[in-house]
């Protein structure tokens, strides 16, 4: 590997040439202005890149990432990104997307307290400690981590919804929808966790986040939701035995209600 990382610069040339070959106007359009309709708040994990998992081109999603996709309301970085996205870019959707197997979330479930990272993870650590008996009652370690990964997403959606930036946008009638999603590295698929928030009223109608430890929301893929909607007209019995809507090559695990 060269000291000047020429292999990466070479790959960039190949990428740019390929882009221009497929779409001669691509870079001209990019240079004019960015008009993303989505703000993505995700984890810094190198395997979860917004444009790739969404299948979007540059210019289509505004991105903020940090370890464990945490929204600290004193973090000037995320607040600046949020303000720019909402007030100037006028994105209509904010997606908080975490992922299963998140190393940051996993650390918040341990007694490790020796790094700067542990200050960053403190909201998760405190939540875990508050509900420790319930979390520790989940015998399977993987399942416990999955639950915390899911709860973390809802926690951060609520924090975004409580910022003056979002409240002000809603109060002036701006369309702004908040979403909570989770990504599974094992199959490359996103699942919707909620909550979906489009107003202060919807936010305030949510049950306490403390309730969620006992009553977690069920992650659902868009394909499964569409299948459920399609079969809803025929009654719940029509759903029984309904084949998983995912192509089998998309996942190596057994089909579950999670698919």
Residues that bind Zn ion (CB under 5 A): 43, 45, 102
The least distance separating Zn ion from the CB of residue 65, rounded to whole angstroms, comes to 9
The least distance separating Zn ion from the CB of residue 102, rounded to whole angstroms, comes to 3
Distance of CA 61 to the CA centre of its chain: 13
Structure tokens at 126: 């405190």
The contacts of residue 84 (CB under 8 Å, 6+ apart) are: 62
The least distance separating Zn ion from the CB of residue 124, rounded to whole angstroms, comes to 11
Choice between 102 and 259, CB closer to Zn ion = 102
The least distance separating Zn ion from the CB of residue 68, rounded to whole angstroms, comes to 5
Helix (H) or strand (E) holding 202: helix 200-204
Give the span between the Cα atoms of 99 and 16, in whole angstroms. 30
Choice between 43 and 244, CB closer to Zn ion = 43
> 181-213: string of b/e by CB count within 10 Å (b at 16+)?
bbbbeebebbbbbbbebbeeeebeebeeeeebb
Residues with active-site annotation: 43, 45, 47, 99, 102
């Amino acid at each position: 590997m060269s000291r000047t990382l020429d292999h990466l610069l070479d790959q960039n040339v190949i990428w740019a040439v390929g882009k221009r070959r497929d779409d001669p106007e691509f870079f001209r359009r990019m240079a004019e202005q960015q008009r993303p309709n989505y703000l993505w708040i995700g984890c810094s994990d190198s395997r979860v890149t917004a444009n790739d998992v969404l299948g979007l081109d540059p210019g289509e999603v505004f991105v903020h990432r940090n370890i464990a996709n945490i929204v600290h309301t004193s973090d000037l970085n995320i607040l600046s990104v949020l303000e720019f996205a909402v007030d100037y870019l006028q994105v209509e959707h904010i997606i908080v997307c975490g992922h299963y197997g998140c190393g940051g979330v996993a650390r918040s479930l341990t007694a490790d307290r020796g790094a700067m990272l542990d200050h960053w993870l403190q909201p998760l650590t405190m939540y875990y400690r508050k509900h420790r008996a319930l979390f520790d009652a989940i015998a399977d370690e993987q399942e416990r981590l999955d639950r915390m990964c899911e709860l973390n997403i809802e926690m951060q959606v609520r924090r975004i919804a409580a910022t003056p930036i979002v409240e002000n946008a809603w109060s002036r009638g701006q369309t702004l929808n908040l979403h909570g999603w989770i990504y599974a590295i094992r199959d490359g698929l996103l699942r919707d966790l909620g909550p979906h928030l489009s107003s202060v009223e919807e936010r305030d109608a949510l049950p306490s986040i403390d309730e969620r430890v006992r009553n977690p929301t069920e992650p659902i893929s868009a394909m499964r939701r569409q299948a459920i909607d399609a079969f809803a007209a025929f009654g719940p019995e029509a759903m029984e035995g309904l084949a998983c809507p995912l192509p089998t090559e998309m996942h190596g695990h057994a089909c579950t209600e999670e698919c």
